[in-house]
Structure 1
Amino acid sequence: MIRLHHVPLARSLRVMWLLEELGLGYEVAYYSIRDGSLRAPDFLALSPAGRVPVLEHHGAVWVESGAIVQMLCETYSEAGLMPPPGHAERARFLEVLSLSETVGCLLENLNLNQVFLRPPARPSATVVKLLNARLRAALAAMEARMEGDHLLPSGFSAADIMFAYGFELARYYVDLDQYPRLMAYWDGLRARPAYQRAKARDGEQDIYAQEFYPVPEEG
């Protein structure tokens, strides 16, 4: 039995996409970050931090999207979605995983400042401006290194899943048209049948209330 504990458009979408790429059957338990379901005792027994993703995999319980992605790639190594130790592309793969979490942390902090901070509190324009600049710098670094259709020379891998998730969410804070190579790359990934199946199961997101969040004005 495989069960994914999932919030629509959260990092658990990475795991959902990978499960689809692997062709695995799985159940989905849906939660919302707004209704208190992530603080329910049954869920906290699986994820003491109260965060998704959680993957129940044949009796094991795995947390943290990066770790789950690596565990799935190791468990189903025949799919070839992660270079093994000693492979020429291993370093690049691990670099992308770490950079993907850097992007994820920047997005999480932007979310805290611009989505979840409630009046009368106001986000710091200086902090948001700095986070936004760091996000754009991370994307620019990837833009400069894009040379083909995927992040590894050999083709599609779990590194694409890890990074593309953050790139998809960056649209709420950054004009992605300034990254034409990444946009072309993203268009190709969205055409993948497994991605489309994952999006069909993702559910309706209730994280973002608007299409774009500009940097707040000073004052």
Structure 2
Amino acid sequence: MKILLVDDHPLFLDGLALLFAQEFPHAEVLQAHSLAAALSTVAAEPAVSWVLLDLGLPDSDGMQALQCLREASPEATCVVMSADERPATILAAIDLGAAGFLPKTTRHGELLRALRQMMGGGVYLPASVLALQPAPVPGVPEAAESVDSLGLSPRQGDVLRLLIEGKPNKAICRDLGLSESTVKTHLAAIFRKLGANSRTQAVVAAARLGLRLQASAMGG
């Protein structure tokens, strides 16, 4: 697995790279100090599967970096890192396809827990955003670590996993070999189960529930 760390602060970047080397020794860690360098890296390394991205790069304007990297490497899972912890910023990142958000103030132990959670198929979002989740909906559980306990089918679990990874409908159709109408039907069912009205709300709900989603070998 190849992971690209993108940040313009060398000390922070080196510390994060060291953490990955110690805790995820199977991963090959690449580094970039700017958006331009990150785009060059994903062009040269199409096998990059994870990108941890700082929004405060010198050659981009906030969310621009996320948009550019999502377009340049649509198969990679992007996680945003930022000193801007405002809920509006976090939700905007999720809306643009980020699969998680790590505040730069996150302490070492919590950072490690967050990374393990995301690498294990879960979602990590700060508590400030999880607290914004709408009031509990009748029939929607307060905790459900698996698709089965949530009442989703394996295929709906696959769709939810790709949604959490930030994949648009067309990419979900392609990856799962489904028609667009079938994907929309699955999404509608997922939203009902999660008490969500949008993709962003679904990701927040998955994080609140502690869902862990892995690729399914099932078709359909």
TM-score range for the pair, normalised by the shorter chain length? under 0.3
Instruction: Find the structure with the greater CA-based Rg.
Output: 1
Structure number with greater CO (CA < 8 Å, separation at least 6) is 1
Structure with the largest fraction of helix: 1
